[in-house]
Amino acid sequence: MGKQAKARRETPAEAKCKVRTLRTSARKLNLVAQSIRGLKVQRALNELEFSHKRIAKDVRKALYSAISNAENNHSLDIDSLVVAEAYVGKNLIMKRFSARARGRSSRIEKPFSEITIVVRELGEAA
């Protein structure tokens, strides 16, 4: 008498990957996510490979994970995959303090972000 399985939120032709703790601000991560939205998977991997942004390496790992999920868990053809969605969210913020002049202090915030990548298989009609 276990729990009932939840219905899958994605369509049968979709797979996703979510990375919850990326050590960068959501604003900087969104710049990288914008560069891969709507691209074919191979083109998106090339875009991330040659990007100058530090966080592009972690986004590339997430995209590989989404591709692997599509291939192994949902039996999708990896040659016809497209990055359907890539969206970013805020996560926790580490708060630190720095000593300043005259006995004062200032707050240093070190934000974390999360990214969700959804890949979709293009049908024969597309």
pLDDT at 126 over 60: no
Q: What is the dihedral of CA 124, 8, 82, 57, to 10 degrees?
A: -160
Confidence of residue 124 (pLDDT cuts 50, 70, 90): low
Q: For residue 33, is pLDDT > 80?
A: yes
CA dihedral of 78, 79, 81, 82, whole degrees rounded to 10: 140
The structural domains of the chain, ordered by start, are 14-121 (3.90.470.10)
Q: What's the whole-model pTM score?
A: 0.88
Residue showing tokens 């590339």 = 60
The pLDDT tens digits for 43-87 are 999 999 999 999 999 999 999 999 999 999 999 999 999 999 999
User: Band of the pLDDT at 125, cuts 50, 70, 90?
Assistant: very low
3 pLDDT band, cuts 50/70/90, is confident
